[in-house]
Amino acid sequence: MQINFALKEVNCKIVYYGPGLSGKTTNLEVIHSKAPTTNRGELTSIATEGDRTLFFDFLPLNLGNVAGMKTKFQLYTVPGQVFYNSTRKLVLQGVDGVVFVADSRRGKLEENTESLENLKENMAEYGLTLQTTPFVIQYNKRDLEDIHTVEELDRALNTVNAPTVEASALTGEGVFPTLKKLAGMVLENLNRQQSSSVVRRRMLAKEPVAAGVKARAGEAAAAPSTPSAPSRPAGRAASEQPAVVKEHVASGVKPVERRVPPKGASGVKPRVTPRRENASGRPAASPAARDVAQGERPAAGSRAALYIVLTLVVLGGAAAALYYTGVLGKLLG
Ligand SMILES: Nc1nc2c(ncn2[C@@H]2O[C@H](COP(=O)(O)OP(=O)(O)O)[C@@H](O)[C@H]2O)c(=O)[nH]1
Ligand SMILES: [Mg+2]
């Protein structure tokens, strides 16, 4: 999560995780094809050749105004193949929410559980857990015949009581319900974080609130003295590639435009199950929090920032509701 108070901007990072060929890239293609062009940047895939994602996909999404803050989501996929774990770890850095795209097909249970275990291990390296990070499981490929029942998948994969959504990314069913569910959870998490830890701790410690905020005086002016973490493309044009993309490009791999996404829809009904409330927000010492904590001081001074923080806190409760009924509803259909 990166908050830029000077620009009144919130950047959230969402990662689509799962085994190879479960449908992660197809999810982003559907979102890219259905979101209005004004709200989305280009879908960029870093791939060597052929149709499989060897590295990852990236799609910036602009959700508009939520509680007075311009809200942007950066969607990433990870490569599912076992041997690309270093890329998966890199992509998870500073993550605010995870969609696990499970392959519902019979015979894929082991790949799903292995990938889920790998997700837990990689998150643990950043001090994150599935219980304290917004997390949704998508049971994909429900249009196929030889698939596990939802109960079977729940038993094998959903040990943390996460919300689950049935989907057929190929036809688009369930793709937006998945994103909406996770986006709501990410925003609620933001509210919790803002209202509990950041503000109170800083006020009690009599630290300037703005010290924890990566703020810039203007869009292009005042380039940060400390470079952003590679995976945090805040403050850039929506279509611009994040540093993590450039890194791979620099290492000789070319980004390619994705193929045209699938069209049409079938009769598969998406199912969203609510998550049982877990006790706490994300750990304060997460890499994302450190990202923010290491940010530079804003030129505008801490008073203005404090005002904005408090406004955000006051509006916090309304943000999630606003999300469902307003901006997100309109944008995501
Ligand atoms: N039948 C069916 N095929 C799907 C579905 N989602 C993805 N696919 C196909 O599965 C293959 C792998 O999908 P892709 O999105 O590239 O998987 P990724 O490796 O997780 O990114 C492609 O041929 C997709 O068209 C789905 O819901 N149903
Ligand atoms: Mg892929």
Give the tens place of pLDDT for each residue, 13-28: 999 999 999 999 999 9
Q: Is the CB of 232 under 6 A from ligand 1?
A: no
Report which protein residue has its CA nearest ligand 1's atom 11.
21
Is 244's pLDDT higher than 60? Answer: no
Contact criterion met (CB below 8 Å) for 224 and 214: yes
| Among the listed residues 105, 61, 29, the one whose alpha carbon sits nearest the alpha carbon of residue 327 | 61
| Among the listed residues 187, 25, 4, 19, the one whose alpha carbon sits nearest the alpha carbon of residue 109 | 19
Q: SS3 breakdown of the chain: % helix, strand, coil, rounded to 5? A: 40, 20, 45
Query: What ligand is nearest to the CA atom of residue 18?
Result: 1
CA distance 39 to 280: 32
Pocket test for ligand 1, best of 26, 48, 57 (most atoms within 8 A of CB): 26
pLDDT grade for 46, boundaries at 50, 70 and 90: confident
pLDDT grade for 297, boundaries at 50, 70 and 90: very low
Q: Is the CB of 143 under 6 A from ligand 1?
A: yes
Atom number in ligand 1 closest to CA 141: 27
Give the pLDDT score at 81: 82
Q: Is the CB of 80 under 6 A from ligand 1?
A: yes
Instruction: Give me the mean pLDDT over the 293-309 stretch.
Output: 40
Out of 85-99, 163-177, 207-221, least confident range: 207-221
CA of 99 to the centre of ligand 2 (A): 14
Is 61's pLDDT higher than 60? Answer: yes
Contact criterion met (CB below 8 Å) for 133 and 282: yes
pLDDT single digits (tens) 104-153: 999 999 999 999 999 999 999 999 999 999 999 999 999 999 999 999 99
Contact criterion met (CB below 8 Å) for 78 and 88: yes
CA distance 147 to 152: 10
The domain locations on the chain are 2-194+257-332
Is 57's pLDDT higher than 80? Answer: yes
Out of 118-132, 190-204, 279-293, least confident range: 279-293
Atom number in ligand 1 closest to CA 77: 21
Instruction: Give me the mean pLDDT over the 161-172 stretch.
Output: 98
For the question of whether the overall pTM of this predicted structure is more than 0.75, the answer is: no
Q: Is the CB of 79 under 6 A from ligand 1?
A: no
Give the pLDDT score at 130: 98
Is 250's pLDDT higher than 80? Answer: no
Contact criterion met (CB below 8 Å) for 213 and 3: yes
253-to-25, 54, 315 alpha-carbon distances in Å: 18, 10, 44
pLDDT grade for 47, boundaries at 50, 70 and 90: low
Pick one of 3.90.550.10, 1.10.357.10, 3.40.50.300, 3.20.20.140 as the CATH number of 2-194+257-332: 3.40.50.300
Is 29's pLDDT higher than 70? Answer: yes
Is 175's pLDDT higher than 50? Answer: yes
Q: Is the CB of 22 under 6 A from ligand 1?
A: yes
Q: Is the CB of 104 under 6 A from ligand 1?
A: no
pLDDT grade for 231, boundaries at 50, 70 and 90: very low
Contacts of 190 (CB under 8 A, 6+ apart): 1, 10, 12, 96, 319
Query: What ligand is nearest to the CA atom of residue 175?
Result: 1
CA distance 61 to 177: 16
CA of 276 to the centre of ligand 1 (A): 29
Atom number in ligand 1 closest to CA 26: 15
Atom number in ligand 1 closest to CA 57: 21
Q: Is the CB of 93 under 6 A from ligand 1?
A: no
Average pLDDT score over the chain: 71
